[in-house]
Chain A
Amino acid sequence: MTIRRILIANRGEIAVRVIRTCRALGIETVLAASEADLDSAPSKLAHRALCIGPAHPSESYLKADTIVQAALGVQADAIHPGYGFLSERAALARLCEEHGLIFIGPTSGQIEAAGDKLRARSEAEAAGVPTLAGDPVETIGEALALGREIGPPFLIKAAGGGGGRGMKKVDRLEDLPEAMELAAAEAGSAFGDTRLYLERFITRARHVEVQILGDGQGNVVHLGERDCSVQRRYQKLIEETPAPALSEEFLSRIRAAAVELAERLAYRSVGTVEFLVDLERDEFYFLEMNARIQVEHPVTEAVTGFDLVAEQIAVANGQELRLQQQNIRLEGCAIECRVNAEDPAHNFRPSPGTIRSVVWPSGEGIRVDTHIGPGACIPPFYDSLIAKIIVRAADRASTIERLRLAIAATRIDGVATNLPFHAEILADPEFEKGGVDTSYVPRFLERRRVLLEA
């Protein structure tokens, strides 16, 4: 089957990004948009925009039945789910499978395997990928016994979900019972699933993830890794490749581990295997697998030269992998910063509104993925990402310098953004040195607060 028309079940910059590739491939696009997004850039760029429901995501972007009905109604061949929303809901993939539509992503079975933390972890173990000491725990007695074995500090996690909910850090064995009760209650109300998991907590960790691509026929390649340790409240802010200050030997082991897991699943589509790198033990451990195109994928595109969305569409269409590992070269260095409509001067509170004027940077080695032009509206119903600025250069120092200049050339009037915060991070000697851990942003903010008060 050949894909001629794709329904895009998403919004914002990723919808624009998918439309761009579809145009290059000569594929028609239909955008499934909420009422709040009918005047957005992707609505105008798509061949057709369909209003699928009111602004609130639960009445539009999260309705799998409506999305599939829309795709069937316009005779689309395939659905691209973007990231977030329904992208990792097995139910949408299954509905597509049942109705003869191509889901541009993994199979519903693969989404289920990657989405359940316990299941993903056992798949990782079976593939020989290192996992952190830990196990599911049902009773407080079990938790205490396991806690004595692995030693504090611990992390209690919800098996059924992520995003920090149901997650508790525990420093002392005697605090475990109370933390477990809290975590179970939180997990139950957030995910309807009270299953918990106890594992060793890594005090100083980096977040390093490997981009993989598989064709569902057993062929899998990796396209290098991204370091996403610059995070605030589990939200990534800056991503870069290659991961700085790690040896080539270490990187080749972590990349191979990701490929082994994807091979075990006979994975189809683009995906990301996330790892925690323990800086004290100099080891890496499986964290989770994301069965979707990720926000930060352009970083990888910048150093490989490949269009990941085009490859994702090709393998969804049943084609064999066109890329061979020996032909994938990782050249130079790339960094992305996420531009969010949020105000760093007021504890990063959201800043929706209308853009009066905007100038995005341009020039050699600079790419901007955005849906925001002058007059664009940032509705309050969705996440605050308005653009991604991605730069590439030969080495890390010149990439940082190029990104600094790109940020300085950016002008956004109408809403507050976190760009000043990015500029500060890029000028910080600790970031410049490379290899910061995930506690870097909170430490940086604290350092700055102390400085301002002095």
Chain B
Amino acid sequence: MTLTAKDVAEIIQLLEQSCFDSLSLEMDGMRLNLQRGCTAPVSETHNDAAAETASSVPPPPPSAKARPPSKPGLFDVTSPFLGIFYRAPKPGQPPFIEVASKVEEDTVIGIIEVMKLMNSVPAGVKGEVVEILAENGALVEYGEVLLRVRPEASP
């Protein structure tokens, strides 16, 4: 059995969503090592793109934010779209959820606005909200962690 590019992409995605930092897989004489984070591959060959990455450090972006690492035992609720995140149904109204709120899979935890189109975001898991990372009114990216939930142990 061999791994296709699609298989590898899927494995990478599994690692992304897991709470592990690295994965190594050995099968049929091939070995796959995956590591989370942005360690640039070290190489002696040169190309324009790689050389530029190394030589000139761009000024920090105006509003960049690092992606926080996952925490063991907690479920990351991620944004299904790029858009503006709102914690409440309307300005001035109480937020959908707070830290310590209990949520079900279909509990709405916030709204993502994409060009005036409001999309409600379900929790996708049953449990208790432990941490809220996304700020009200901020731009969130696709896949960005909005909040963390401690899943309720299934009976």
Contacts and interface: CB of A to CB of B under 8 A. Distances in A.
A54 interface: yes
Interface in B46-93: 46-50, 52-53, 56, 58-64, 81-84
A372 B61 contact: no
Contacts of B143: 35, 51
Interface string A323-358: 000000000000000000000000000001110011
Interface in B84-113: 84, 113
A360 B47 contact: yes
Interface residues of B, number: 37
B47 A370 contact: yes
Contact of A53 (B48, B82, B139): B82
A132 B143 CA distance: 51
A28 B62 contact: yes
Nearest to B60: A47
B117 interface: yes
Contact of B49 (A16, A68, A75): A16
A35 to B, nearest CB: 6
Contacts of A47: 58-62, 64
B50 A374 contact: yes
A51 B62 contact: no
B20 interface: no
A75 B62 contact: yes
B24 interface: no
Given A48-B63, A53-B142, A66-B81, A368 B5 contact: no
A176 interface: no
Interface string A366-379: 00111111110011
Nearest to A13: B49
Nearest to B65: A48
B119 to A, nearest CB: 11
A430 to B, nearest CB: 33
B43 interface: yes
Contact of B62 (A16, A68, A74, A368): A74
Interface in A374-398: 374-375, 378-380
A35 B142 contact: yes
A374 B6 contact: no
Contacts of A35: 142-143
B144 A45 contact: no
Interface in B1-45: 5-6, 8-9, 38, 40-41, 43, 45
A428 interface: no
Interface in A227-256: none
Given A47-B58, A65-B117, A66-B83, A374 B49 contact: no
Given A370-B49, A372-B47, A372-B49, A353 B84 contact: no
A45 B74 CA distance: 33
Residue among A39, A70, A353 with most chain B CB within 10 A: A70
Given A53-B82, A54-B142, A66 B114 contact: yes
Contact of A39 (B6, B38, B43, B82): B38
A205 interface: no
A353 B5 contact: yes
A270 B99 CA distance: 53
B153 interface: no
Nearest to A64: B115
Given A51-B82, A51-B144, A375-B41, A74 B49 contact: no
Nearest to A40: B49
B45 A374 contact: yes
A223 B117 CA distance: 43
A70 B82 contact: yes
B131 interface: no
A55 B48 CA distance: 25
A359 interface: yes
B38 to A, nearest CB: 7
A74 B45 CA distance: 35
B83 A51 contact: no
Residue among A52, A54, A73 with most chain B CB within 10 A: A73
Contacts of A190: none
Contacts of A406: none
8 closest cross-chain pairs (CB), A and B: A375-B41, A73-B139, A48-B61, A41-B49, A373-B50, A374-B43, A51-B141, A65-B115
19 contacts: A5-B62, A44-B38, A45-B49, A48-B64, A50-B82, A52-B141, A52-B142, A66-B114, A70-B139, A73-B82, A73-B83, A74-B63, A95-B115, A358-B45, A368-B47, A368-B48, A370-B49, A374-B43, A379-B5
Given A45-B58, A50-B139, A53-B142, 4 more contacts: A28-B61, A66-B115, A75-B62, A370-B47
